[in-house]
Amino acid sequence: MGTRSIKEVAELARVSVGTVSNVLNRPEIVSPATRERVFQAIRELGFVRNEVARHLRVGRSRTVGLVVLDVSNPFFADVAQGAEGPADEHDTMVVLCNSGADPVRERRHLDQLEQQRVLGILITPVDAASPRLTELAARGTPVVLVDSAASGAQCSVAVDDRLGGRIAGEHLIERGHRRIAFIGGPPSIKQVADRHAGVMSAVEAAGDGVELVACAMPTLSFDTGRRAGERLAAMPPGERPTAAFCANDVVALGFLQAMAARGLRVPADMAIVGYDDIEFAAAAAVPLSSVRQPRELLGRTAIELLLEEVTESERHRHRQVIFQPDLVVRASSEPRRGG
């Protein structure tokens, strides 16, 4: 194998290993002549520092793991992108891990990250209450919850999903809808549960005559949305809800597609509001109304909290940051024609 060690560099440059290490880490303390000789040897051998050994000795990695529910949801791509800026500045590497909303895979990723002794973990958990998360923190791997509020024992960055759900619900009610569907994923996912609770509170506040039809699906995918859409489309027009609030935009886009396929008009026959306001929402068949979240800001803030925790380790106080969502109204929920 072509990997060279610091020792070989030392031999070639005719200095001790300590000196090579110094050249690598504190070049200013070694004399220009020696330094140059070492650099020369490094170049000649194609030496690449073994970060693993370094990490073992130093005891701290320069990698943080970001575990997301679904890499293929652009929402998470944006969160990841937001995290990369501050990470770069602290020359830290962000690695993305996909749990696919599967507790088993999430577990495996967490195990692996802990075993690798990463600097810390940013995670959108499948189950925020899982003891695994607090265990991690207790054993020395700081964890920041992303898009999910923590209860005090750890840092978190979230958006008020209840509020988001309520805003969406109020908007649809105001537009004259009386029978509203909530297309959600597994209620074990906090975001889903909160958005549901939010829209529910709006419906309840509107009093009699307005009702919510919950449609819990097993996942939060495009296909899920499509299937839910087909199910609703198959209902007799009298019973069918006239509006749907989808737990996220990916689901909403699938739902929208099903409407088109079944010949239902959006928003005339079915109004739709999504969640996240991903870039594609505006570009959909019918531009999608959506509850906007500050995606990049979530990622950015999360990693800042993590780095803060790592730096101040001693006197660190966990913080729970909460952002406010807002509604972006587009064609998919324009005023209904026939009140």
Partner DNA sequence: AGATTGTTTTGAATCGTCTCAAAGACCGGC
Partner DNA sequence: GCCGGTCTTTGAGACGATTCAAAACAATCT
Interacting residue ranges for a copy of itself, rule: CB under 8 A: 1-3, 46, 48-53, 55-56, 61-63, 71-72, 74, 77-78, 80-81, 84, 88, 93, 95-98, 100, 108-109, 112, 114-117, 135, 138-140, 222, 253-254, 256-257, 279-280, 282-287
Residue among 113, 84, 110 at smallest CA distance from 99: 110
Which 219-248 residues touch DNA, going by CB under 7 A?
A: none
Query: Which CB sits closer to a copy of itself, 75 or 245?
Result: 75
* Contact status: 22 vs DNA (CB under 7 A): yes
Residue with tokens 């998470």: 76
Count of CB atoms within 10 A of residue 262's CB? 14
> Considering the complex, what minimum distance in angstroms separates the CB of residue 133 from DNA?
21
Judged by beta carbon distances under 5 to 8 A according to partner kind, the member of DNA, a copy of itself, none in contact with residue 174 is none
* Contact status: 56 vs DNA (CB under 7 A): yes
Determine contact, residues 64/306, Cβ cutoff 8 Å: yes
> Considering the complex, what minimum distance in angstroms separates the CB of residue 167 from DNA?
49
Determine contact, residues 221/250, Cβ cutoff 8 Å: yes
Query: Which CB sits closer to a copy of itself, 1 or 33?
Result: 1
* Contact status: 6 vs DNA (CB under 7 A): yes
Q: Tell me how far the alpha carbon of residue 318 is from its chain's centroid.
A: 19
C-alpha dist (Å) from residue 56 to 59, 60, 115, 118: 5, 8, 12, 11
> Considering the complex, what minimum distance in angstroms separates the CB of residue 4 from DNA?
7
Judged by beta carbon distances under 5 to 8 A according to partner kind, the member of a copy of itself, DNA, none in contact with residue 263 is none
C-alpha dist (Å) from residue 289 to 127, 179, 185: 28, 18, 19
* Contact status: 18 vs DNA (CB under 7 A): yes
Query: Which CB sits closer to DNA, 5 or 81?
Result: 5
- List b or e across 96-129, with b for residues whose CB sees 16 or more CB atoms inside 10 angstroms: bbbbebeeeebeebbeebbeeebbbbbbbbbebe
Whether omega for the bond prior to residue 218 falls within 30 degrees of 0, making it cis, is: no
> Considering the complex, what minimum distance in angstroms separates the CB of residue 306 from a copy of itself?
16
Strand, helix or coil at 295?
Answer: helix
Judged by beta carbon distances under 5 to 8 A according to partner kind, the member of DNA, a copy of itself, none in contact with residue 287 is a copy of itself
The site for DNA (CB under 7 A) is made up of: 3, 5-7, 14-22, 24-25, 29-31, 33-35, 47, 49-50, 53-54, 56-59
